């Protein structure tokens, strides 16, 4: 009993709430579907054959476990804490997204669904979904904001090569939020045969918990690998947050390890101030209801949702997963913001010092590592989640650095 009360790992409750956050704010048409999904997931969760299939695919298709890498030159350069990188960018498809997609697609197959829809921002979740659908011969439709289709062209082509249909979304500003609206509209229309594969720890219950559970493989491996390497837990763990799935995956297994400092890094865009040219929902937003859950949102005084801005398409979302909102309010995790400029600097440093081209999303996490590592003692262990590789971002980075590339 005391253990349950003292644990940060027992949520959500039966109503899908983490404190006041989460819930099931969807239209009646979708309600029976998410209840069915919840029942199926609850069953799968304790079914050894489900996890056997997951583990087999994680090992032989994704390439897990991903390495825990000691970034020696970066550590020397920063001159403080010892920096480790959890190399989820080495996964098949180049990011952590596939960890979750595999789980949801196996579930969809068990539920007899034949058509998979997904929303995508940077395109990483779209690529992962298209990939797994190709592997299992499922029809795949990906909604992507028209603005993101433009800035993530390589991933759009990848999805098409993998047989997916990519639908550019022109409503709103044409980013992840708008893609999610249209995916929900598709789902409400095609309820019988369609499974909505959400890419982050947001949306109506059970998605935030389910996606977290699938991504928790990141934190579980990290814990074991750190014990093997250093014989103890890390002191600080850090991850970037858009919706927050890679961060939740790293954080969750450590929530009850009170000595571990947990830091989430939001996209500060051009700076977190009242111009609202950022995507830092926790730092610059307040609680509201969108896309099926209550969480911190960027919104105006009248409860209308603001667009947000970030150099990184994967972080360009005005909300955040409800469990992060709760961890923020109860103070178990800290949340900070990193600007576009700081992320770009970290991106380049990682390329030069470690021979790793990181995605712009984890470059935000790395930028915060660069801020705090020099202030910490040499025996302080930091793990940052290098959740995606940067091949998709080189055009964006080139543009920001004033380099013209011709292909």
Partner 1 sequence: MSRIDETFVRLRSRGRKAFVAYIMAGDPDADTTLDLMRGLPAVGVDVIELGMPFTDPMADGPTIQAAGQRALESGMTVDRYLDLVRAFRAQDSTTPIVMMGYYNPIYSRGVDRFVAEAVQAGIDGLIIVDLPPEEDAELCLPARAAGINFIRLATPTTDDRRLPKVLQNTSGFVYYVSITGITGAAAAQATDVGPEVARIKAATDLPVIVGFGITTPEAAETIARVADGCVVGSAIVKEIGAGRPVPEVLARVASLAAGAHRA
Choose between 65 and 206: whose C-beta lies nearer to partner 1. Answer: 206
Q: How far is the CB of 181 from partner 1 (least distance, A)?
A: 5
* 167 lies in the site for partner 1, by CB under 8 A: no
* 15 lies in the site for partner 1, by CB under 8 A: yes
- 80 CB neighbour count, 10 Å cutoff: 16
Beta bridge partners of 143: 119, 167
* 233 lies in the site for partner 1, by CB under 8 A: no
Q: How far is the CB of 293 from partner 1 (least distance, A)?
A: 10
Q: How far is the CB of 335 from partner 1 (least distance, A)?
A: 21
* Phi/psi of residue 46, nearest 5 degrees: -105, 15
Choose between 305 and 357: whose C-beta lies nearer to partner 1. Answer: 305
Q: At a CB cut-off of 8 Å and minimum separation 6, what does 93 contact? A: 124, 127, 128, 131
Which runs of E-coded beta strand occur in 94-162? 115-120, 139-145
Q: Distance (Å, rounded) from C-alpha 125 to C-alpha 159?
A: 10
Which runs of E-coded beta strand occur in 270-331? 286-290, 292-297
24-83 residues in contact with partner 1 (CB under 8 A) are 24-33
Determine the size of the site formed for partner 1 (CB under 8 A).
Answer: 36
State which of residues 60, 73, 135, 185 lies at the interface with partner 1 (CB under 8 A).
Answer: 185
Q: Distance (Å, rounded) from C-alpha 47 to C-alpha 51?
A: 7
Choose between 184 and 397: whose C-beta lies nearer to partner 1. Answer: 184
CA angle, corner 394, sides to 276 and 157, nearest 5?
95
Q: At a CB cut-off of 8 Å and minimum separation 6, what does 379 contact? A: 82
Binding mask 280-319 for partner 1 (x = CB under 8 A): --------xxxxx-x--x-x-xxxxx--------------
Part of the chain binding partner 1 (CB under 8 A), chosen from 21-29, 92-100, 133-141, 337-345: 21-29
Q: How far is the CB of 194 from partner 1 (least distance, A)?
A: 10
Which runs of E-coded beta strand occur in 270-348? 286-290, 292-297, 334-339
Residues that bind partner 1 (CB under 8 A): 15, 23-33, 171-172, 177, 181, 184-185, 188-192, 288-292, 294, 297, 299, 301-305
């Amino acid at each position: 009993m005391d253990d349950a009360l003292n644990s940060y790992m027992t949520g959500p409750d039966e109503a899908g709430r983490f404190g006041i956050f989460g819930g099931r704010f969807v239209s009646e048409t979708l309600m029976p579907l998410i209840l069915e999904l919840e029942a199926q997931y609850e069953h799968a969760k304790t079914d050894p054959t489900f996890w056997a299939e997951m583990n087999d695919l994680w090992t032989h298709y994704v390439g897990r476990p991903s390495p825990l890498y000691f970034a020696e030159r970066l550590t020397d350069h920063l001159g403080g804490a010892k920096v480790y990188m959890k190399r989820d960018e080495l996964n098949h498809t180049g990011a952590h997204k596939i960890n979750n997609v595999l789980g949801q697609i196996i579930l969809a197959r068990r539920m007899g669904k034949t058509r998979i829809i997904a929303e995508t921002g940077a395109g990483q979740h779209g690529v992962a979904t298209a990939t797994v659908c190709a592997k299992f011969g499922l029809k795949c439709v990906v909604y992507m904001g028209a603005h993101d289709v433009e800035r993530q062209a390589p991933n759009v082509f990848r999805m098409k090569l993998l047989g997916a249909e990519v639908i550019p979304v022109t409503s709103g500003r044409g980013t992840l939020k708008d893609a999610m609206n249209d995916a929900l509209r598709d789902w409400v229309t095609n309820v019988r045969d369609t499974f909505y594969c959400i890419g982050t720890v947001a949306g109506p219950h059970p998605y935030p918990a389910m996606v977290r559970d699938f991504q928790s493989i990141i934190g579980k491996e990290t814990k074991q690998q750190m014990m093997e390497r250093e014989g103890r837990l890390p002191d600080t763990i850090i991850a970037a947050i858009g919706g927050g799935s890679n961060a939740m995956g790293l954080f969750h297994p450590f929530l009850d390890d009170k000595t571990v400092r947990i830091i989430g890094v939001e996209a500060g865009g051009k700076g977190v101030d009242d111009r609202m040219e950022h995507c830092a929902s926790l730092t610059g937003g307040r609680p509201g209801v969108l896309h099926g859950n209550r969480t911190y949102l960027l919104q105006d005084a009248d409860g209308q949702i603001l667009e947000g801005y970030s150099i990184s398409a994967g972080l360009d979302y005005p909300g955040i997963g409800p469990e992060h909102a709760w961890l923020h309010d109860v103070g178990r995790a800290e949340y900070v913001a990193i600007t576009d400029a700081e992320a770009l600097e970290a991106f380049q440093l990682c390329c030069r010092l470690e021979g790793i081209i990181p995605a712009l999303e984890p470059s935000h996490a790395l930028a915060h590592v660069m801020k705090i590592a020099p202030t910490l003692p040499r025996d302080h262990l930091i793990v940052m989640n290098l959740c995606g590789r940067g091949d998709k971002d080189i055009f964006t980075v080139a543009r920001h650095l004033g380099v013209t590339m011709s292909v």
